[in-house]
Structure 1
Amino acid sequence: GAGPIRIGQGVEFDYSTVHAVQTIKKSGYEAIIINNNPETVSTDYTTSDKLYFEPLTAEDVMHIIELEKPEGVIASLGGQTAINLAEKLAARGVKIIGTDCEAIERAEDRDVFERLLADLGIPEPKGRAVTNVEDGVKAAAEIGYPVLVRPSFVLGGRAMRIVADEAGLRHYLQSAVEVDRDRPVLVDRYIVGKEVEVDAICDGRDVFVPGIMELVERTGIHSGDSISVYPPFSISDRVKGVILQYTKRLGLAIGIVGLFNIQFIVDRNDEVFIIEVNPRSSRTVPFLSKATGYSLADIATEVILGKSLKEQGIFDLYAPEKKRHYVKVPVFSFSKITGVDASLSPEMKSTGEAIGYDDKLNRALYKALQASGMKLHNYGTVFVTVCDRDKEEALPLVRRFYNLGFNIEATEGTARFLKENGIRTRILGKLGEGSHDIENALRQGHIAYVINTGDVASEEQNTDGHRIRQLATENTITMFTSLDTVRVLLDVLEETTLGVSTIDS
């Protein structure tokens, strides 16, 4: 099992565990679960033949293995917690079935993985693993800012940041993570592009990809916090072909047996780069299973138990895409968790998800957004405060709100820019200058949406942006920190709002 759930280690992993148990039972084996989380389906005593409610540490698991003497242990279906146990158990002579320790090492150890990519001729963003602060600064200078920094071997993008300059990088390396020999920190070039995700199954000979998902938010936001769409809506067939070829090559070269997940970046020139390969079931497995009709966890468990994809009747690399659109939208609980900054970042913050589907993409989006608890207003006021970098990109979006009949309010810099471009805007004084305009406006309840993007460079807690996000959360106002999400919302609003135009004679 996946152990105690924290944000980022969602209940989605439990889905794979439960399905695996059902398949193991059907195949005539006794199924035993070790998991110490009372809030899951896998720890319901009716799920498996035997349930051990024990901590997921090597020592505790070994006691159970010595007592039960199982034919094999599956570690690739319980998220990162289970994967991290595989090596310790194998060292003590336990038979790990499915993806083995060598394969996990090939996918998760940065140096081994980079050599593998070089051998296969698959591109990745330029990056390096560093073990001290000075090396980190040197690496970033060579790669070029902005860089994405993260510890290796983590789940849910914990302590992952986009850093814009040397001062920010030094601060991060000294305060956010302990850098040492055993725990290197990865410094990668940050590529702006579309993020695409694949869940696939490999049996050692063949690879099967039931579907490709495209994320609405661009790179730099954790995939668990992004709106995910199947089938993909804006990537070309050529790019899909490249993604499928890379997936097949990687699955076979790493030596995956069972499920794996790959995240790609597609940049503006339609070049495909690899972000990472996870040699385990991922949080998108339940969504993709429901959208494509292929139960991934069941197929993967059969593979682990020795039944190849062909024996299961699967002969294609890629399943035919569905005509319907399926959209997964994250659900956030910022109003319940005080003090969390609501801006989206590479660190995961969502606590759940909702699915919408329809023959039309915008309608599927509408259903999913509605189901996720977002308040969709088609009238009111939009409060905009965006950093200089995003002003050009935000302009057409604000104009679309204006054309739908929304009033626009903004802070001084943004307001001046909008007025120069012919959008009537009311100026609200800045919080940092002692004005209470913004606080009052957000409390009065006439603001429908807050659009607030921060600069990559300003990560501090005491900025105006941070305070605005806090106020919006406290007053339950729908808020966006990514312009990609705003674009999607506008597509939906334009379809659901009655437009008013003058009568032409």
Structure 2
Amino acid sequence: RASRTVPFVSKATGRPLAKIAARCMAGKTLAEQNAGREIIPGYYSVKEAVFPFNKFPGVDPLLGPEMKSTGEVMGVGRSFGEAYAKSQIAAGVTLPHGGKVFLSVRDTDKPGSVDVARQLLDLGFELVATHGTARVLIAAGLPVQVVNKVTEGRPHVVDMIKNDEISLIVNTTEGSQAIADSAAIRSNALQHKVTYTTTLAGGLALCTALRETDLNEVNRLQDLHQEISP
């Protein structure tokens, strides 16, 4: 939505887009405002939404078309991994370093899950997966602990979450039944503050962020904007 995206892009590039647009409406051209050239910053900016789910225990944090976020934060870094990591930290997300990661993905994501799982192994995680996902990972030669889905009987993955055995979850679903079946995983992950991603792209981005070892560098936006000033 423009009410949040336009301010974000303006903050990331140092260009007052709303003012430029208003002047265009009043008859000023982009050339007259020196605003016609493409801007390619030498840094990355990542916008992340902030959700109040932790204030509502037991709620299902599954996202839909409804507006649920209460704000947004921005992470800036010289690499995408640094910017993404800072955006997650600013949004209150814990970046786990090691432990057990639970993977359960829909059929269309199973081939791509191997790359995510391999990267997580390289980062020091142990793999835990449901039967279907585990078969794919084992076929790729990856070590996996198999665990039941909630509907398959105990002990299951929710038991592991409640016992604080899981530090990260990569769970992609499709279809109303699969979404309903994984509701207990989402709500318990929220309650126990387990980092949760619902897309493989999110899992890959998280791997990139976890490789960043120095997140202490702070740059003023004004200094960064000076780098891209005409």
2:200 is the counterpart of 1:483 = yes
Q: Letter of the aligned partner of 1:336 in structure 2?
A: K
Q: CA shift at 1:344, angstroms?
A: 4.2
Q: CA shift at 1:313, angstroms?
A: 2.3
Structure 2 Cα separation of the partners of residues 491 and 478 of structure 1: 15
Residues 289-368 of structure 1 aligned to structure 2 (within 5 Å): 289-304=10-25, 306-309=26-29, 313-314=33-34, 316=36, 318-338=37-57, 340-345=59-64, 347-368=66-87
- In the superposition, the TM-score normalised over structure 1's length comes to 0.39
Q: CA shift at 1:348, angstroms?
A: 4.7
Do 1:452 and 1:469's aligned partners in 2 also have CA atoms closer than 8 Å?
Answer: no
Structure 2 Cα separation of the partners of residues 454 and 461 of structure 1: 6
Structure 2 Cα separation of the partners of residues 461 and 421 of structure 1: 25
2:136 is the counterpart of 1:440 = no
2:183 is the counterpart of 1:466 = yes
Q: Letter of the aligned partner of 1:297 in structure 2?
A: A
Residue of structure 2 in register with 1:402 after alignment: 121
Q: Letter of the aligned partner of 1:376 in structure 2?
A: L
State the number of aligned residues.
Answer: 214
Q: CA shift at 1:488, angstroms?
A: 0.8
2:170 is the counterpart of 1:413 = no
Residue of structure 2 in register with 1:97 after alignment: none
Q: CA shift at 1:428, angstroms?
A: 1.5
Do 2:104 and 2:170's aligned partners in 1 also have CA atoms closer than 8 Å?
Answer: yes
- Report Cα offsets for 1:183-210 as digits up to 9, x if no partner: xxxxxxxxxxxxxxxxxxxxxxxxxxxx
Structure 2 Cα separation of the partners of residues 470 and 416 of structure 1: 26
Are the structure 2 counterparts of residues 321 and 445 from structure 1 closer, same or farther at C-alpha, using a change threshold of 3 Å? Answer: same
Higher relative contact order at CA 8 Å, sep ≥6: structure 1 or structure 2?
2
The structure with more strand, counted as a fraction of residues:
1
Q: Letter of the aligned partner of 1:471 in structure 2?
A: N
Structure 2 Cα separation of the partners of residues 348 and 490 of structure 1: 28
Structure 2 Cα separation of the partners of residues 301 and 334 of structure 1: 37
Structure 1 Cα separation of the partners of residues 133 and 29 of structure 2: 56
Where has structure 1 moved over 6 Å in runs of 4 or more?
none
2:118 is the counterpart of 1:387 = no
User: Structure 1: 5+ residue runs without aligned partners?
Assistant: 1-223, 225-280, 498-505
Q: CA shift at 1:346, angstroms?
A: 5.1
The structure with more helix, counted as a fraction of residues:
2
User: Structure 2: 5+ residue runs without aligned partners?
Assistant: 215-230
Q: CA shift at 1:359, angstroms?
A: 2.2
Are the structure 2 counterparts of residues 486 and 307 from structure 1 closer, same or farther at C-alpha, using a change threshold of 3 Å? Answer: same
**Equivalent position SS for 1:399:** helix
**Equivalent position SS for 1:426:** strand
